[in-house]
Amino acid sequence: MSVMTMTYHVPVLTQQVVEGLQVKVGGRYIDCTVGEGGHSRAILEASSPGGQLLGIDLDPQALGTAEGNLHAFRDLITLTNDNFRNLKQIAFDQGFDPVDGILLDLGLSSLQLEGGNRGFSFRTEEPLDMRFDPRQEVTAWEVVNQYSREDLIQVISTYGEEYRADRIAREVLENRPIDTSLQLAQVVAKAARGPWGRTHPATRTFQAIRMEVNNELENIELVLAQAVSLLTLGGRLVVISYHSLEDRLIKNLFRQESREARSIRVMNKKVISPSRDEVRTNRRSRSARMRVAERI
């Protein structure tokens, strides 16, 4: 039986990920955000023959796509629909402990933006959902339509680092109920006022609401210490983030693990960014920031 594969998403910094992880033949690796399988494929190819990979993703749709895209490696991979905040338990349950490298790519995939019909994109008319996992109870609709003005300001200013949070929250309250992503984008654009730059004025608000719905910063805090504990001595942890709030959190957690716990060595003082050529061919890579640590 043939297996259908499809690719919406071009993985970022692929070669740098393989180099950062120091992928070796026969090694064992965990991709905590397997997505459509782009990075996992590169890791499996570099660790062949004999390499093994545990792929985790909270999004069952993405995981189904990854299963098709990685069919050639089906005997070498284990795919799990779970939250990477449960990393240590997942690894134990699957017999993946210890491992030679762990990857976290915290970006939103093109499949989620363009093919999910879940309201991640502000350019199309979709239900206000924004859940990575459809089993989660809270959706973006609840955040937008049921949060108080003060709570909305807190979410948008903290997670979106949006200086117009007060104005946006007021406009949201005045236009409730807001049922679709396009309606929300229009409300935010109206609140933002003034000319637009290259970035849509709703970008930060959508980011903030998505992070609130999925508890993203809390999940990052919970997973990093677990990841370090699963690595062999000399094993590598690679994290790719896409905005300053995440990157600062990762930088601080790496510093804490290296200076206080003395469990890792930070391998790059400056973030690793995509080349101009990569940004030219994949515009969504432009904000990627990669950090690497080694277990000591």
pTM (2 d.p.): 0.92
Query: Quick one: pLDDT at residue 284?
Result: 80
Identify whether residues 220 and 206 lie together within a single domain. Answer: no
Domain assignment of residue 176, given as a range: 117-214
- Please tell me whether residues 277 and 289 are part of one structural domain: yes
CATH number at residue 209: 1.10.150.170
Structural domain count, the chain: 2
Beta-carbon contacts of residue 167 (< 8 Å; ≥ 6 apart): 191, 192, 193
- Is the domain of 200 the same as that of 253? no
Same domain? For 272 and 201 the reply is no
Residue 138, burial from CB neighbour count under 10 angstroms (0-12, 13-18, 19+): middle
Last residue of one domain, picked from the residues 168, 193, 214: 214
pLDDT of residue 174: 98
What is the C-alpha to C-alpha distance for residues 150 and 178, in angstroms, rounded to an integer? 18
Q: Say if residue 98 is in the same domain as residue 121.
A: no
| pLDDT one digit per residue (tens) for the chain, 296 residues | 334 445 456 899 999 999 999 999 999 999 999 999 999 999 999 999 999 999 999 999 889 999 999 999 999 999 999 999 999 999 999 999 999 999 999 987 656 666 568 899 888 899 999 999 989 999 999 999 999 999 999 999 999 999 999 999 999 999 999 999 999 999 999 998 876 777 899 999 999 999 999 999 999 999 999 999 999 999 999 999 999 999 999 999 999 999 998 999 999 989 999 999 999 998 888 999 999 999 99
Among 179, 214, 249, which residue terminates a domain? Answer: 214
**209 part of a folded domain:** yes
Same domain, 223 and 208: no
List helix spans (H) across the chain: 14-21, 38-46, 60-69, 87-93, 110-115, 140-146, 149-159, 165-174, 181-192, 203-214, 216-230, 244-259, 276-281
Indicate whether 2 belongs to any domain. Answer: no
Report the chain's mean pLDDT, rounded to a whole number: 92
* 144 Cβ neighbours under 8 A, 6+ residues apart: 128, 152, 172, 176, 178, 184, 209
Phi, psi angle pair for 154, to nearest 5°:
-60, -45
- At which of 214, 243, 264 does a domain end? 214
Judge whether 97 lies within some domain. yes
Instruction: Report the distance separating Cα 33 and Cα 56, nearest Å.
Output: 6
Determine, yes or no, domain membership for 3.
no
